[in-house]
Structure 1
Amino acid sequence: MTSINLSQGSDHVENLHLCPIPYLLLDRQFNIIDASNSGYDFLKPGENFMSIVEEESSPKFARIIHKNSSGEMELNLKKNDSFELFDIFYQFSDMQQYFHVAVISKDVQYKKVSDQMNGLFDLMGKSTYPRKEPNLTEVLAKVSSLYLKLSNTSDWNRQEIMDKIKEIENHLQQNVK
């Protein structure tokens, strides 16, 4: 067999270690069978996927993955002794009786926007800010660019961030008259 299909295939995925994203092969009880190199950053051989799923998310994960043979969901997973938010894409192979699971970090996206938001709050917190007109243009430009970025993403908690941006705009309008 030369090509590998998620729904059919041999007992293992050849060259799985070459996969550039965290990719896990799990049995029906969520024990790890094989993984990409970055997948082994999450789980070591012999470990169970449920051991890295946040306790509150475990029932949701088990319910969804057993109900639908393929799909995606957001999940908090343990990585480096703390929990991070990830998109989980999964497909069950009837032939192999394995779950194929890809794990994509959302925290990287969140961190980028969060850093930008913190930068704006820092700018507003400077005591010279309200009296310094040139900064106003700069901050408004940053706010606009954040709006554009957010409107072009289908993001996790976009609403929360949009609310923060509104807060910033209101603050700007009150303080720079």
Structure 2
Amino acid sequence: MSSIQCPACKKPQEANLSNCKNCMFPFTGSEQEKSKHIGLFINKKSIVHDAENAITRSRKILFLIAAYNFLFITVPFISPDMEIDIFAISINVILALGFIMCALLLKRSPMFFTIFPLCAILGLYAANFLYDPDLAMRGIIFKLVIIGSLIYSIYLLQEAKKFNNKFAA
């Protein structure tokens, strides 16, 4: 039996099929149906590119958060009026190093190293809210942008994973 290659997903298919078993490309459809299907397939394929951009964006966000934590480490040493709180400094050092490690390892396991810092950030914000609700509300837009961006990155990574599982060669 002869086989043909699907123009959309590039998988070999039996020649007598009306639709591709992998991506449902309409072999016997009109040119308009075929063009529409390929357009939709390309649109879905762009999610992989968007996920790669999301990884880069997440890395930048994690480095920014680490820099922000390192800034809070240096403030007590620079300001003569503030007393040095070893507990707060050690927490900020641990968080900053954790965010840097997650940013550096993000390409190895994007899902884990995006979810882990997101949970750490949410935990930190929750503890901050319990400690001082007024302080937690400062910079709320900045906090929402960070959380929203990391959640959107997780969504894009999931969509890219679904696409790759379905159409990977």
**Does the TM-score normalized on the shorter chain lie above 0.5?**
no
Structure with greater strand percent? 1
Bigger RCO of structures 1 and 2 (CA < 8 A, at least 6 apart): 2
Structure with greater helix percent? 2
